[in-house]
Each structure stands twice: as C-alpha cells, then as structure tokens.
Amino acid sequence: MMFQKKIPVMSPQNSVKFHTVPANDSPVKPDSHLGPRWMFWRRRRDILTVLAFFGFINMSILRINLSIAILAMTSKYPVITNNGTTIYVQDFDFNPQTKGFILSAFFYGYMVTQIPGGWLATRMGGHKLYGAGIGVTALFTVLTPFIAQVHIYFLIATRVIEGLCEGFTNSSIEYIWAQWVPPLERNRLMGFAFTGTPLGIVTAMSMSGIIATYLGWQAVFFITGSFALVWTFAWWIIVYDEPENDPRITLEELTHIRNCLGKKSNMKKRQEIVFPWCKMLTSLPIWAGVTVIFVMTWNYHTLGTQMPTFLSGKLESDVLGFDIKKAGLFSSMPYLVMAIYAPFACSAADWILEKQLLSVTNGLYHVSSVNHLDLAPPYASLLTGLAHTMSSVSGILATTLNGYVVRNKAKEWTVVFSITGGICFFGAIVYGVFGSGELQKWALQGSEGQNGTLNCETLLHEVEILNPLGYAFSRRASELSFVERRISRASEQSPEKIILEEKNGERDGKF
C-alpha cells in the first residue's frame, strides 16, 4: 500500500505550498507480529526505553538524595551515657553556609562534562558512557558515609566527581536514541524515558526521609547506590550501541529500525561549518533564551535543594517544623505534579500555537532549550550545551547563595524566596523584550552547502538531538512536521526556494 506525504515547497513570492508526493516508507510496522506495544519485552528498543527510564530515575535519586540525608546527618539524637544520663549529639555540625557549599558541589562537576560528553560518546559508545556515568556515581554514593567521616573536603570532592560522571549521561543517551529509535516513535519512547527524571526526584525526596528515619542516614546512600549499581550491570549486559550488534534482536525489528533511520547512522559526520562566534555571542535573542534557562533552573535547584531544609524543624532558621519524613514528602510534591501535568501541558501548548492564540515569542514551548533550534539550527547543539552549562552555574549560585543568606533566623527564608521570585520575574521581562522564535539571519550561513543552499538535513539532525529536551511529550514533534514548521517560518525572511526530496528513505533538502 502506498501512502503519501505533503512536502513544503516555497515559491519566490514567499508563500508556502505543499506538494503531495508518494512516500517510500509505510506506517505498517514489519515487527507488528511481535505483539502489542505494551509487551515491551518483545522489542529490544522498548527494553532499551524501559532501562533508560530507570536510568533517569537513578540519576535524579543520586543527585537529590543528599538534600534529604543532610538533614539527618546534622540532626541531634539522644544517646544514653554509662551513668544513665541522656545527651543529644549529632554526627555533623554543618552550618548553613557549609551545607550550601556541599549541596552545590555536585554542579561544579556537572557543568564541566556537558559539552565533552557528546564528543566522548561517539568514540567509546553511548551505552558504555551512559552506564559508566551512573555506575561510578552509584559507587561513590555507596562510599559516601565512609568518606564523609574522614573529612568534609573529601565529601565535597566526592560530590564533584559524581557531578562529573552524571554530566556525561545527557549526550550519551542522545547518541543511543539516534541509533535505535525510529523518528515517528521518538515522542512515545523518549517521552516515557524522560518521565524518569521528575519521578526520580519524587522517589528520592519521599523515600530518603523514611529511610533516614528508620534505618539511619547512612542507609540512604547504601540503598540508593546499590539499586543504581544493579541497574548498571543490567544496562551493560542488555543494551548495545547499535541494533546490528545486539544478538537478541529479531531480523524484523532490525529491518524496521534501519528502514526508518536509513542505512547510515543518524549520527553520521557532517561537513564542518564556520561558527560566527561574534554574531552568536552578541545575539540578544540567544542570550534571552539562555537567561530564561538560567532563571528556570535557579528556581528548580532552589526547590530541589533548599525546600527540605525550609520545611524541616531541625534548626532555628527552619520554618515549618516538619519531621524529615514529611519534609521529604512535601518537597517532592512539585515534581510529582510536573510528571503528571507535563503531557497535558505540551498538548495544550500545541493547541495554543495551532490556534495562533499566542505568538512564538510569547508562547509556551519556546521557553526551553529548543528555542535555539528556531534561532540558529546549525548551531543548536552547541547552544544547547551552553544552556546546560548555564543551568549548572545557576545550581551552584542558587545553593551557595541560599546557604549564606539563611543563617539563624526563619525570616531570612523570605529573602531566599524573594530573590528567587525576582530572578524569575527578571527572566520573563528579558525574554519578553529581547526573546524571539524566528530564524536569525546570521545563522543561515552555517547550513549552507557548497552551492550556497541551506541543507535541511542539518535541521533534521538538530531535531534528533534536541527532541528529548523540550518535545518529549508533544504529539506534534515528528521530525518532518517540525521541519515543515521551521522552514515555513524561515520563508518569511528569505525569498529562495525550498525543495525537499525523498530518496531511498533518506530526506535531502536545500534552501
């Protein structure tokens, strides 16, 4: 059965027309005999997705568990002496400034390995790097109780190393997605996998308080680290970098994946392009997007690292007086809501944009890392690395500054939340004034081919990399439809003609 697709063609009059052409790929899946989609164990790419889901859960747990455990580490507990006297002691006497520095140490390492992770994944393999990043972090997590007893500087160094290891995971998992997941399945599979991030935070905050209360704060690190180590061994045994290397994959599934992705890897080497560093670094829309990411993650890290302390009642400066169990449970609520509403929010954003109720600048979905794909498609990966780096910087500044602001009095928390609210308001103003969702003219030269045309394959490649960052739940995020919208928007700024051709299952385009 032959199906058809609509391919956008731009006329010299800047209008977009859609030509209907036959498509070589049929939506009938050749591996449909393996059973319905819920039988994930019958398809290797579905097993990969489930393991990646638990991988993201582990990443969040290993990153957040100290935020709850540090409350128990600094809490006083009764001890009966030999003469029968009851005294109260604590394992660690960290002041708020020291606690803030310990909690921010993770982001020092996390910031460094964001960009090198992609380069390293292409050389040692995505599945090895992803597994090693989580596995080494888990190993140091198990050792944390012993390291903390030696000296505080060793504890800080341990957290920095954990951040270094987790920083490699983002790029490495993107490399694996590009090898395994067909474009039309990425929304479903990657969307499911990335829900592990907020669910991991919910698990860490809610369970760490319970574990610390009944088993001691050391058990928080032993249990979470051991679970991640078990996952690491399962990941290394089951997952392979490419479908061709998997001895358990069926011929039908392998054929289906390669027909969808093409004979060559989607991570194939592209021609080198010249980076317009001056124009890029002086672009107000670029920095407006980076500013939004900075303030969003500032708020994110403030809630994630400081909310448990705010809710607890272990210090005079801690306000509400909840015990560790309730503090952890209540701190997890924002992330639980995030995991629940995200699919509905993305669908609502699609509907709002489709109905043109808001412009792309003032709309919902551009306030994310994906904004760089609209502004400068050829450099989106680089700009996304910059965005991840800035998010780590905000994590460092937020946790450190909050530690210095909150000293001994409860009213000082008002300053913390006022600063956070003011920073978020500042980001909204900056993006509203300087932000944009339109293709920047200086970005056109980065995708030009040898004949001066814009290669739409660059856009497709950037979609593959950035799709999980902001479109994981969106039902309209297929590669072709996204590129159609991207090209249609570009038509407002250039009179040249866009031609998209479909050849042997691979899309070629020139602008």
Q: Which residue has the higher pLDDT, 407 or 336?
A: 336
- Residues paired with 367 in a beta bridge: none
Counted residue by residue, the chain has a size of 511
- Residues paired with 503 in a beta bridge: 506
Residue 343's alpha-carbon distances to 52, 192, 202, in angstroms, are 19, 10, 17
489 token code pair: 């928007």
Amino acid (1-letter code) at residue 200: G
- Cβ–Cβ under 8 Å, residues 491 and 498: yes
Give exposure, 459-485, as e/b (b: 16+ Cβ within 10 Å).
Answer: bbbbbbbbbbbbbbbbebbbbbebbbe
Q: Which of 158, 191, 208 is nearest to 56 (CA)?
A: 191
Given a cut of 70, whether residue 288 has pLDDT beyond it is yes
- Cβ–Cβ under 8 Å, residues 57 and 203: yes
Q: Which residue has the higher pLDDT, 335 or 484?
A: 335
Compute the distance between CA of residue 311 and CA of residue 308 in angstroms, rounded to an integer: 5
pLDDT value of residue 507 = 40
Instruction: Kindly report the number of other CB atoms within 10 A of residue 338's CB atom.
Output: 17
Q: Which of 146, 147, 72, 45 is nearest to 105 (CA)?
A: 147
Q: Which residue has the higher pLDDT, 341 or 220?
A: 220
Residue with tokens 């412009």: 359
Concatenated DSSP letters for 422-462?
HHHHHHHHHHHHH---SPPGGGGGGGB-TTS-B-HHHHHHH
103 token code pair: 């909690």
Residues 6+ apart with CB under 8 A from 506: 262
Q: What angle do CA 220, 221, 227 make, to 5 degrees?
A: 95
363 token code pair: 């709309």
Compute the distance between CA of residue 42 and CA of residue 458 in angstroms, rounded to an integer: 34
Output phi, psi for 18, to 5 deg.
Answer: -115, 120
**DSSP structural state of residue 7:** E
Predicted TM-score (pTM) above 0.85: no
pLDDT value of residue 501 = 38
pLDDT value of residue 10 = 40
Give the whole-number percent of the chain exceeding pLDDT 70.
Answer: 65
Given a cut of 80, whether residue 28 has pLDDT beyond it is no
Q: What angle do CA 64, 66, 69 make, to 5 degrees?
A: 125
pLDDT value of residue 9 = 39
Residue 154's alpha-carbon distances to 101, 108, 122, 161, in angstroms, are 13, 15, 32, 10
Given a cut of 80, whether residue 74 has pLDDT beyond it is yes
Region label for 183, one of left (φ > 0), alpha (ψ between -120 and 50) or beta (otherwise): alpha
- Cβ–Cβ under 8 Å, residues 59 and 225: no
pLDDT value of residue 36 = 54
Q: Which of 278, 465, 264 is nearest to 373 (CA)?
A: 465
pLDDT value of residue 300 = 80
Q: pLDDT grade, residue 137 (50/70/90)?
A: very high
- Residues paired with 289 in a beta bridge: none
Residue 90's alpha-carbon distances to 16, 70, 153, 360, in angstroms, are 69, 11, 19, 53
Residue 111's alpha-carbon distances to 106, 107, 502, in angstroms, are 9, 6, 40
Residues 6+ apart with CB under 8 A from 133: 165, 166, 167, 168, 169, 172
- Cβ–Cβ under 8 Å, residues 221 and 145: yes
Instruction: Kindly report the number of other CB atoms within 10 A of residue 77's CB atom.
Output: 10
- Cβ–Cβ under 8 Å, residues 457 and 509: yes
**DSSP structural state of residue 265:** -
Residue 25's alpha-carbon distances to 150, 239, 502, 503, in angstroms, are 61, 27, 10, 11
219 token code pair: 């058990």
204 token code pair: 């860490």
Radius of gyration for the chain, computed over Cα atoms and rounded to the nearest angstrom: 25
Residue with tokens 């739940």: 473
Compute the distance between CA of residue 468 and CA of residue 477 in angstroms, rounded to an integer: 10
290 token code pair: 């980076």
214 token code pair: 């009944």
- Start-to-end C-alpha separation, the chain: 31
Given a cut of 50, whether residue 367 has pLDDT beyond it is no
Q: pLDDT grade, residue 352 (50/70/90)?
A: low
422 token code pair: 């003011």
pLDDT value of residue 445 = 61
Domains of the chain: 3-510 (1.20.1250.20)
Tell me the mean pLDDT in the region 97-117: 85
